[in-house]
């Protein structure tokens, strides 16, 4: 018998066909509409206070302790040319977008264990939304 439950697919087989059930999470797609309310002016202030000592956003700017973030959206982790990433960042394999940044910025070391980024994260959702709004404008 096959049962479909919201968000999960659970395959079961009858007693005459003994197989272990297969549990597959329903593919989760990030909706980024919840991030549209970020204030890029507040994000610019946050970037200056918490990020600018290690990152730049301008095209062609040099890397600092952290990589230049220009062209961040749509780029895969560990792929900024000329920057020496940890193996953890290179092998994470996700693409940076509003949803992945929203999770990452809360706790970078939890999202990418083994990263050399020492930033503790932004716990407040509003601050993350503001910073992402700024990054979206300034890194394009």
83-87's contacts with Cβ under 8 Å and 24+ in sequence apart are 86/114, 86/115, 86/116, 87/114
Residue 8 three-state SS:
strand
pLDDT at residue number 36: 61
pLDDT at residue number 9: 36
Cβ(128)–Cβ(105) below 8 Å? yes
Q: Using N-to-C axis directions, what is the helix angle for 125-138 and 98-106, rounded to 10°?
A: 130
d(CA 127, CA 93): 25
Question: Which of 43, 62, 33 minimizes the C-alpha distance to 138?
Answer: 43
DSSP designation for 134: H
Considering the entire predicted model, what is its pTM? 0.74
Written as tens digits, the pLDDT of the chain (140 aa) is 333 333 333 333 333 444 444 444 434 444 455 546 799 999 999 999 999 999 999 999 999 999 999 999 999 999 999 999 999 999 999 999 999 999 999 999 999 999 999 999 999 999 999 999 999 999 99
pLDDT at residue number 37: 76
Q: What is the dihedral of CA 132, 43, 115, 56, to 10 degrees?
A: 100
């Amino acid at each position: 018998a096959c049962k479909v439950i919201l968000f999960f697919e659970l395959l079961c087989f009858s007693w005459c066909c003994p197989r272990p059930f297969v549990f597959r999470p329903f593919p989760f797609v990030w909706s980024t509409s919840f991030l549209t309310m970020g204030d890029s002016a507040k994000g610019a202030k946050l970037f200056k206070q918490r990020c600018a000592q290690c990152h730049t956003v301008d095209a062609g700017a040099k890397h600092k302790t952290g990589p230049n973030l220009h062209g961040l959206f749509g780029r895969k982790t560990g792929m900024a040319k000329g920057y020496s990433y940890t193996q953890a960042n290179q092998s994470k394999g996700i693409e940076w977008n509003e949803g992945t940044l929203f999770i990452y910025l809360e706790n970078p070391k939890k999202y990418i264990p083994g990263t050399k980024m020492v930033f503790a994260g932004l716990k407040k959702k509003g601050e993350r939304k503001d910073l992402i709004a700024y990054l979206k404008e300034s890194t394009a």
